[in-house]
Chains A and B, each alone.
Chain A
Amino acid sequence: MSKRASGVLWGIAGIVAALGLWEGYKWLGPDDGVMIGDLIVLPRTTDIAMPHTWDVVARLFEPVTRAEGADVLWWAVLQAAAFSLGIAALGWLIGVTFGLALALLMQRWITAESAVLPWVVLSQTVPLIAIAPLVKRWGSEITIGSFQWENWMSVAVIASYLAFFPVAVSALRGLKSPEAADVDLFTAYSASWWTTLLKLRLPSSVPYLMPSLRLAAANAVVGTVVAEVSIGLGGGIGRMIIEFAATASGDPAKTYAPILGAVLIGLVSAGLVALIGVGLRRYMRGEVPA
């Protein structure tokens, strides 16, 4: 069996195992959940708490609401997912650009590294929920000509705020990764900083960069979904999760639809980053963990 085919088989086996675990527990576990004293340590297994997996799938093909002319659920989820993916992609792009720029700055001037790096690390300790309203507020102050700051821009900025961090840190490590002898060689050729960057530092940083681009993609997706909720931007997966959760008691299967949508965004974004990796394969000499 080829390596790829076995990979696909194992992937399918993993999904089947997860579904089996869900259904197995639902079948075997007590309705009130597994209790130790008064504590529920494993969830209830009623249809409201844990709908059957096939019910979740079946629900996707029913209309969103009973209202006349409502879209079928999977279509609504797909639209919301596409909307969020678009914002996450923009956030990723801004974050990666900003992260790379920071890394270049820190590589170029050692003072910049000691001045900037602590702030870069510190920035990630500020909770997303705290900065979301701030970004929205500051954004609303911006009007340049006919340009109006919109809420989706705030979401993209917040997504980029999470995405830039792994890129900045890994890119800096990557840019510094060439060995002293290699740098000496370029000095001996009296190559400029720019030439050394293009022909030595950037190519050597690719193995460091790839995992961080993937991390940045995951962060951008999480940032988008969370920021949609905290800024109150409609149309994306984040708001849909909240809206559908409100109907959980009456329509439990529906709650899981936007979660599947979020999973889909994650898969698509990971796939897109993998495509970048294919283009840069020449520079990959074993990936360095982020």
Chain B
Amino acid sequence: MSEARIAVHVDKVDKIFTSRKAGEVHALSDVSLDVAAGEFVSLIGPSGCGKSTLMRLVADLDSITSGEITVFGKTPEQARKDQDYGIAFQQAGLLPWRSVRANIELPLEIHGWEARDKKERSDELLELIGLADFADHRPDQLSGGMKQRVAIARSLAERPRLLLMDEPFGALDEITREHMQNELVALCQETGAAVIFVTHSIPEAVFLSDRVVVMSPRPGRITEIIDVKLGERGEDLREAAAFYDGVTAVRTALHGETPAGARGVENR
């Protein structure tokens, strides 16, 4: 892989949290991973395997203990300052006093976009997520799925080349969830952004990803990286044999290594 084609480069990273209560917690141990530009990579594993921590390190929300991370060839801090990534969390985290449009425009506002450009961009995004009619609604008037769509639109606002998503569909019901997955696939094809997607749902990881990174806890590490070559994503894929093969492969990787620790993983 050439330099320019690599979105995120993680090299032998260790992360140790030190707290007064719990002492030292080895959250990540010797983690190495490359994410190519435009690639969709899921991080999956039971609770405590460090998948969210890894994403937070890439986002420069936490700092590494040892090793190296580069994002588009820069330090994570520089990448954060340059706004190279968009981010979405499990909770939509919309500001309740702002309208849907104002929430989507938040990053643009912080980075000093012109009013006209902001409006233009939020119009596009509202159209993209199909919430144009809800632009002036407040978040508490929206359903969970709609809120999450707004959060995703917000993460796309500055056309990032990298999307970091921490269980963004974790709080949604199954039907909404599948619907959102379809939309996310479409969005990614449209924008061509690389995605690091943290999840604990095996089918979700398989359906969305080019590669699934299987992690295990204590200390958090990568146990296996599974190539999922499913080609065109669509509703039919969910019933396809190849999809089930992928699910089986990920499940085997999860349970084979640490049967006890894999209990926190959803098999649905």
Contacts and interface: CB of A to CB of B under 8 A. Distances in A.
Interface string A94-115: 0000000000000000000000
A96 B56 CA distance: 38
A199 B110 CA distance: 9
A285 B80 CA distance: 31
Interface stretch (B91-99, B173-181, B208-216): B91-99
Interface string A251-290: 0000000000000000000000000000000110100000
A191 B80 CA distance: 10
B87 A185 contact: yes
Contacts of A190: 80-81, 83
B246 to A, nearest CB: 30
Majority DSSP secondary structure for residues of A touching B: helix
Nearest to A196: B110
Contacts of A38: none
Contacts of A128: none
Given A199-B110, A203-B95, A181 B83 contact: no
A200 B95 CA distance: 8
Interface in B77-91: 80-81, 83, 85, 87, 89-91
B110 A187 contact: no
Given A179-B91, A199-B106, A187 B97 contact: no
A287 to B, nearest CB: 14
Interface residues of B, number: 22
B80 A179 contact: no
Given A190-B83, A199-B106, A199-B110, A185 B97 contact: no
B214 to A, nearest CB: 25
Majority DSSP secondary structure for residues of B touching A: loop
B61 A187 contact: yes
Interface in B161-211: none
Interface range on chain A: under 10, 10 to 19, 20 to 34, or 35 or more?
Answer: 10 to 19
A184 B89 contact: yes
Contacts of B85: 188
A181 B61 contact: no
Given A188-B61, A189-B110, A282 B97 contact: yes
A188 B106 CA distance: 12
B111 interface: yes
Given A191-B110, A195-B110, A203-B97, A181 B80 contact: no
18 contacts: A181-B91, A184-B87, A185-B87, A187-B80, A188-B59, A188-B61, A189-B83, A189-B110, A189-B111, A190-B80, A190-B81, A199-B106, A199-B109, A200-B95, A203-B97, A282-B97, A283-B97, A285-B96
Interface of A: 179, 181-182, 184-191, 195, 199-200, 203, 282-283, 285
